[in-house]
Structure formats: structure tokens, C-alpha cells
Structure 1
């Protein structure tokens, strides 16, 4: 299974209004345990644009939107009115989180908080205005044509009695454009996750004018393309330089037997077809593939890119895309002891509303536009491992050894911590018991057991919103 191979020469847009390159939108309840109106809900919009049409003055500044999008908002498009009365449509103009002159892309993200009412249920969408289009795409005839877009998510604040909380929708992220080799069946695994780990996450094609507009399956993607419910897309590129669009809904369900989704969020991305590159792709690795991080504690990870194109080629950029706001990226540094190795540090201080699964995707691009396979990491109590099959054999061995070493180290650290805690707890428990007469020891033991039960219940209530 090959994944995300890219030989990029130029990115051209022959139509001034063709500037959209996909994205994703999602929502998160700030406190899923509280169903009292008003309910704070965070909205996260992540989009990719053609750099020549949507400029990024500096990382961290507002993007310069295309003229037709200046007044665009994330708008209620279904069940509007009583069940969306607190929704105030936010702008789609976000903060520039990255750009690549080689890829010709700019990346933006925007986070807003709205106050909604208990049991609100409606659809919010970002759709193109008249005259605004995706970059030119290829249909079955491989003739480049313009296509309008819409991304839609269902916001459902109904209380789940059997779960004891408001549902939190799944999260998805993918670096666009994904590159595939012509004539070769390629599997693209879409990174998804759900903080409600007891639920089932599935993918399906977006359908209809209210979910995908002009890019519904299979208008701008080969009809033989297969999307499995576990979010793996298998596709074969037909013609070199073709551009395809994949419009997908990521949904969560009560369990693997139910057919009615609890929530639905979109992810749309582009795929481009390339010939086999003339030299090995750059590789991208991280010193951390998955990790738990704490609210308010600064987190850093280092991304390493290796160039295999020789002295005439260099790594031009490492691009990141995240499901969370606030990540910053340091400068690209070429190592002095190994001129083929480059690095960049990513920093992030999580906030309380960001608790849950978060995904960081990254890719390296060299001076000729050759792209690495993507790298991804998940944070906050969930593990999303890169498919080993996506790597060459020697890379698979290296990655597997690294993961095994990390797992062994994690087990040792966890065991040591538990043993230390258990020993300390035994000492603390034993000392007051030994100092008391027998009947006092029994009373103290009963009191401690009751206190422990209360602590456990409070912990469960905090985690699962159980009402006593």
C-alpha cells in the first residue's frame, strides 16, 4: 500500500476564481456534561487555498481572502430557526497557519465560540458564492472544469441519556493535495478519532447539493474509487496531472450495529496524479508519534525531514496541519553534521476546550516539489498510529523497532509509577491503622473505603458525566 507520493512541478490555476483546495469543519461542546442553556460550543474551520488567490502575509496573521469570499460565513442551512436560535454565523476568514510557495498553497484556521440552546439540532455549512470555485478539477474526460463547493456539519446538542452526556463529534484531518502514482491502486487512510471511545466512527461519501455541491462522488474522482467505512480510500489515478476531489462525511454512532449517526462532520481534499519520481522521496519523522499532553503545559515535538535528492536538491519546507488552534512552528534548520537532514520544532500549549483527541499532520517538500509521505501524531488520550504498510520495507522495520521501544519504555515507566504509588499508598494506609486499636482500625478502614468510593464516583462523573 503506497501513500501520499508526490512529484510536484508547478501548481497553476488558469481561472481567477478557482482558489479553494478543500478543508474540514467541526464543532465541540465546551462542557459536554452540562446540558443547561446556554451551551458553549466551539466551531473550528480549517481550509486550504491557492496561494496566488488567497495570500498569507505572515504566519499568525489573517489571510487575505479572495474578493468573493470576504463576506462569506459559516451559515445555518437546515433546521434553521427554533433549533438554531443561538447560532450567530461566524466569518470563514481565518488565521494563516502555513503556506508553501512550492506547493502554491496557503492554510487557514479559525476558532469561534457560540452560545446555543439545549437540544439544538441543525446543519451549518460553508458554501461557495457565485463565481467562486474549487481549483480546476478533472472528470471522466480529464477535461479541467470548475466546481463549486459546500462543506456541511450537523450540530446536535441533544442529551444522550444512555451516555449521560452531550455527544462530541469525531475529528478528521488530512494533508491536501494527496499525491498518487498513475495506474497504481493506492490506499489513502484518512486519520480520524473520537474522544467518545465507546462509539463507532465511520466514513461515507458526502451526497447531494447540501453536502458536496459539484464534487459529489463520482463527478470528479474515478468511479472505481472505493471508500470503506473505516475511512480507507482506494483509488487508481487515470491520467498524469489529473486533479480529483474527495468529499467525505465522518460520522459517529452509538455502536457498530446502529445505522443512525449521532453527528456528521465533513472532510474534503484533493488528489493529484503523478508519474514515478526520479529519486527517492524525502522522509519525515518525529521524535514523538503519539503522546498524552496536559492542559496548560507547553508541548513541543521536533519534525525531521531527510533529503534523498543529492546536493542539487534541498528541503524547502515542512508543512503542518492540525485539528487544533494555537500550534506554532519554528524555522526550518539544516543540520550542520548531516546536510541531508532538516528539522523544525512545533510548539503548542493546550487549553481546556481542546481536551480530547487532536491530530497533527505534516509533510516535507523539497526544492523540486517532491513531497514526503505524510506524518501524523495524535494527542490527548488516544493513539493514532501511522500504517506501517505505507512505508518501504526498511522504513517499516525502523518504525516498528521505534514503536516497540517506545511501547516498552512506556510500559516500564507506567509500571514503575504504579509500583511507587502502590507502595506509598500501602505505607500511608498501614501507619494510621497500626496506631489504632482493632475496633478503631475497622472504623478507619471503612471510612477510607467510603472515601475511596466517593473519589471513584467523582472521577467517573467527571469522565462520563454520571449523575448520582
Structure 2
């Protein structure tokens, strides 16, 4: 039996060489089916999502609708960092997956292209592999520090050993946006959301290292994004019980900074052996909070999504080929300040979801909205796809992320059977015919002075789609029978009358 594993990467790119364009990403994975010891192969889903400078990796609404692939090269595969023996015995080298993923979001104001994709991968049971998305080009230009050696490296550790009572492990994941705005000169605490399908696992975060160790293998986990030269030395990363990860940072200058982390899961709080390890790398933008366009210094917040009032973290059910229309609503931090407004939304969307390019004001001038439009496709059936948004006001203050989960169900088809009765009544008297019809009943009456009469009633059950055809056919055939009946009875009557005369 074969099983599938899915690995996730976060990225958005286009075919470019020697550019300054990478803006972060994430890779995660999960098994598709339950597994037994007898299973020779395991099928996984590999999830990737990335962000790029739109000037180097262009993306349009047409690309989003068509689910076009974008990436750093036309085919830049996820490489296997484990030994060649391990990579070959696991069957990875024969089916390497691409880092090209679907264009999902564009932000015209910030100049960002974003993308994501889930791809299936079948590996041998009990496999332990370290894969990575690596690039030789550069991150975006940084205000603080300089990426050493440039480039990027996002490694992911996959362990397909069966866990007693659990089966194959699921890697942890995060809905963390790939860009966060924070004011300079102010200590800011950023909560890194983390979750795991194995609910009893302990999730921890740590800094990615230029000489890290994953499953005994020495790995460059961050390339040009290691925190020792992209963040101030005062930055702190704290991991807590109950799966909490917190970044405490004071940015000194306006501009861009990089955060590179590894998120790992453990069987218990005391365990030091990671069950899996996934990369999360994103950008911080420091803005000048002392020189803003208005006096409002309270961040905005996203209040809800409609038409189904949905709170942060809620679920929305959708169906394959069923159109979803939604509106996400944000409110400024200063309700009575008419000069402060929502200037932008940063989104993380399922593939092929269309979003409005700019916020528009509600009747209440402190509330602003963005429209969503989406028709799930058959390959998304059975998936739970997360949409996240951040609202940014005119002063660059940003809201907390607001996320909902779309649960994709099967297409709904409706077949309605309707019974229609067609009644034909015939009375023969003369050769003169009068026809009265409605949409469902045809009544044919022939009148003469003779005393002979014939009455027939026919009942036909038809479906809705056949109503017009059935009625038309019934009328045509009845007319023919009526004419034949009139001739068949009328001519003998005339002959009889002539003989009697």
C-alpha cells in the first residue's frame, strides 16, 4: 500500500538570476493516510509558501485565476541534503519536487508577489531525510546588516518512522505572515503562531543557525538570513510551554530586517530529540512612529468576515465549483479620527481566490473592507485551506493576523423530479376540431350532432428537464390521433346518413 506525504513551503517567485527579491517562506509536511508496518511507501503532502519582490517575480490577477506557477527558476527542485545513499533509498531523487508554486496573492502597494502549493511525494517507510529550498540570489535589500554570502536556505526534516499509537508524524506549522510592520525605537513582542495535528506534541521554536544540526547532519539553516547579522543583538526569542513562541525586538532604524527560525515538535517537554523540523523565515519592516500622517497610534483590528459572521480561527464550509463571495472588515484604531484610514491588506489566500486590490470605506468611515471571490476546484476537495489577512493603516500600524479555515466539500448537484399530467379528452361529433392547450394540459374537443363519443385520458410522469419536450410531443401525437379518429368515425357516419336518405 502507498501513502502520501505533503510538504509545505512558503514562497513567491519568478525566473530570475542575480536579483534582490526573496522575502521569506515556509515548508511543512503531513502524511495523507494512516500507515501500517506493512506499508512499503508513505504518501506525503509537501506544503510550500513564499514571498518575493513583485518587480522581479511578477504576478497578476490573471495569473492567480489561472493558477500559474511562479518561482526562482523554471525548475528549481527541493534538494536532498542527506547522503546520496539515503536520498536514493528513500526514492526521493527519482521524483524531486519543484519549488515553483501557484501565484496566490499580490500587493500592489508593497510590491509583493506571494505563492503557495501542496504537492504529493511518495517515500519509503522509515525514511529520515533532510530536504531544503536553496537559492543563490539575494534577499531584499536590508537596512540593518548585510546577508552574509547572500542567498537563502530553508531546510525541513522528515521522519517517517511509525510512532506507537500515532502512526506517521505530522510536522508543526504556522500561519505567520511573511511580513510584519513594527514601530522603530519601541520594544515590540511578536507572537509566532504554531500548531500541530498531533495535539499532544510539544512545539518549540529556535533560531536557525548557519551551522545547525538536524538529525545528526550539519546543515546551513539560514544562509543570508541568520539573526546574528540581520537583527539587533538585543533581540530575544523565547519559547514557552503550551506551544508558545515569542519574539521581543526593538528595531533601531526604518527599513527591512529578516527573522529565520526553525519550528520543531517533540514527544514530551523533556525530550531533546525533534520529531521534525520546519523552516519559517519572514521580514520585519520598521516604520517611523514619530513622524506619522495622523495622530492615531492605536493599531487597527479586523473585526469579522461576512456573509457568515466568522471569528478569528473559525471555519467556513465551501464546495467544489460552488462560488464563495465574502467580505473582510477592518476598523481603524481611532474611531473618531476621520483622517486615519485602512490603506492596505496583506493576505495569504488559497490558490485561485480573487481579492480586491484596495480597501474601500464602509458607511461607517472608521470601517474598511476587502472583497473575496473564490470557486474551489476538484483538486482542493477534502482540504482545509487557511485564509489570513492583516490590515495596515495610513500610519503603517498593522493589525493582528485574522485567519479562517475553508473546509472544501464535494460539489452539490440537485436533481428534482416533477410529475406532470397530460390529459386528452376527445368527443367525436363532426369534422370540426377545436384545440385548447396550457403548459401542461391539452384538451381536444370535436363536436357533431351524432351521439357517438369517445373519451381517453393519458397520464405521463416526466422530469423537469423533459417537461417542454414531453408536452410538445404529447400534443403532436394527440393531434394526429384526433385527426385519425375524426376521419375514422366521421366518414362512416356520412356514409350511413347518405344510405338512410
TM (norm. structure 1) is 0.67
More deviation, 244-253/337-346: 337-346
Taking structure 1 as reference, are residues 193 and 327 closer, same or farther at Cα in structure 2, changes over 3 Å only? farther
Taking structure 1 as reference, are residues 327 and 201 closer, same or farther at Cα in structure 2, changes over 3 Å only? farther
Taking structure 1 as reference, are residues 146 and 137 closer, same or farther at Cα in structure 2, changes over 3 Å only? farther
- Cα displacement (A) at 1:225: 1.1
Show the counterpart of 2:197. Answer: 195
1:164-243 correspondence runs (5 A): 164-207=166-209, 208=211, 210-229=220-239, 230-241=244-255, 243=256
Rounded to whole Å, the distance in 2 between the matches of 1:193 and 1:124 is 21
Rounded to whole Å, the distance in 1 between the matches of 2:36 and 2:375 is 27
Residue of structure 2 aligned with 1:17, choices 19, 39, 49: 19
Show the counterpart of 2:285. Answer: 272
RMSD: 3.2
SS of 1:78's equivalent in the other structure is coil
8 Å CA contact 1:173–1:191 kept in 2: the answer is yes
- Please list every run of 5 or more consecutive structure 1 residues that lacks an aligned counterpart in the other structure: 1-14, 382-468
Rounded to whole Å, the distance in 2 between the matches of 1:341 and 1:203 is 36
Show the counterpart of 1:113. Answer: 120
Show the counterpart of 1:397. Answer: none
Taking structure 1 as reference, are residues 201 and 359 closer, same or farther at Cα in structure 2, changes over 3 Å only? farther
- Cα displacement (A) at 1:114: 1.3
1:62-461 correspondence runs (5 A): 65=70, 69-79=73-83, 80-86=86-92, 88-129=95-136, 132-139=137-144, 142=145, 147-161=150-164, 163-207=165-209, 208=211, 210-229=220-239, 230-241=244-255, 243-276=256-289, 277-279=292-294, 280=296, 281-286=299-304, 287-292=310-315, 302-307=327-332, 315-321=342-348, 325-326=350-351, 328-331=353-356, 334=360, 337-346=363-372, 354=383, 359-365=386-392, 368=394, 370-377=396-403, 379=405
Taking structure 1 as reference, are residues 300 and 188 closer, same or farther at Cα in structure 2, changes over 3 Å only? farther
SS of 2:104's equivalent in the other structure is strand
8 Å CA contact 1:53–1:65 kept in 2: the answer is no
Residue of structure 1 aligned with 2:32, choices 30, 33, 36: 30
Rounded to whole Å, the distance in 2 between the matches of 1:369 and 1:146 is 34
Rounded to whole Å, the distance in 1 between the matches of 2:235 and 2:382 is 37
Rounded to whole Å, the distance in 2 between the matches of 1:237 and 1:378 is 30
Rounded to whole Å, the distance in 2 between the matches of 1:374 and 1:216 is 25
Which whole-Å deviations, capped at 9, do the CAs of 1:262-299 have from their partners, x for residues lacking one? 00111000112211134334432223212245685878
Determine which structure has greater relative contact order: mean sequence separation of CA pairs < 8 Å that are 6+ residues apart, divided by chain length.
Answer: 1
- Cα displacement (A) at 1:16: 6.3
Taking structure 1 as reference, are residues 336 and 303 closer, same or farther at Cα in structure 2, changes over 3 Å only? closer
8 Å CA contact 1:361–1:374 kept in 2: the answer is no
- Cα displacement (A) at 1:118: 0.8
SS of 2:206's equivalent in the other structure is strand
Which whole-Å deviations, capped at 9, do the CAs of 1:91-144 have from their partners, x for residues lacking one? 212211111111111111122111111111101111113xx11001244xx568
Which whole-Å deviations, capped at 9, do the CAs of 1:401-455 have from their partners, x for residues lacking one? xxxxxxxxxxxxxxxxxxxxxxxxxxxxxxxxxxxxxxxxxxxxxxxxxxxxxxx
- Cα displacement (A) at 1:71: 2.8
Taking structure 1 as reference, are residues 360 and 62 closer, same or farther at Cα in structure 2, changes over 3 Å only? closer
8 Å CA contact 1:303–1:343 kept in 2: the answer is yes
SS of 1:136's equivalent in the other structure is coil
- Cα displacement (A) at 1:260: 0.5
- Cα displacement (A) at 1:19: 0.2
Which whole-Å deviations, capped at 9, do the CAs of 1:308-341 have from their partners, x for residues lacking one? 697777645433225xx44724436735522442
8 Å CA contact 1:240–1:275 kept in 2: the answer is yes
8 Å CA contact 2:30–2:44 kept in 1: the answer is yes
Which whole-Å deviations, capped at 9, do the CAs of 1:56-90 have from their partners, x for residues lacking one? 02223456757x63331212122442443145222
Which whole-Å deviations, capped at 9, do the CAs of 1:377-412 have from their partners, x for residues lacking one? 36499xxxxxxxxxxxxxxxxxxxxxxxxxxxxxxx
More deviation, 149-158/285-294: 285-294
Rounded to whole Å, the distance in 1 between the matches of 2:368 and 2:57 is 28
Taking structure 1 as reference, are residues 380 and 335 closer, same or farther at Cα in structure 2, changes over 3 Å only? closer
Taking structure 1 as reference, are residues 293 and 261 closer, same or farther at Cα in structure 2, changes over 3 Å only? farther
Show the counterpart of 1:60. Answer: 65
Rounded to whole Å, the distance in 1 between the matches of 2:207 and 2:359 is 40
Rounded to whole Å, the distance in 2 between the matches of 1:261 and 1:145 is 28
8 Å CA contact 2:66–2:352 kept in 1: the answer is no
Rounded to whole Å, the distance in 2 between the matches of 1:288 and 1:168 is 26
More helix by share: 1
Taking structure 1 as reference, are residues 197 and 301 closer, same or farther at Cα in structure 2, changes over 3 Å only? farther
Rounded to whole Å, the distance in 1 between the matches of 2:234 and 2:276 is 28
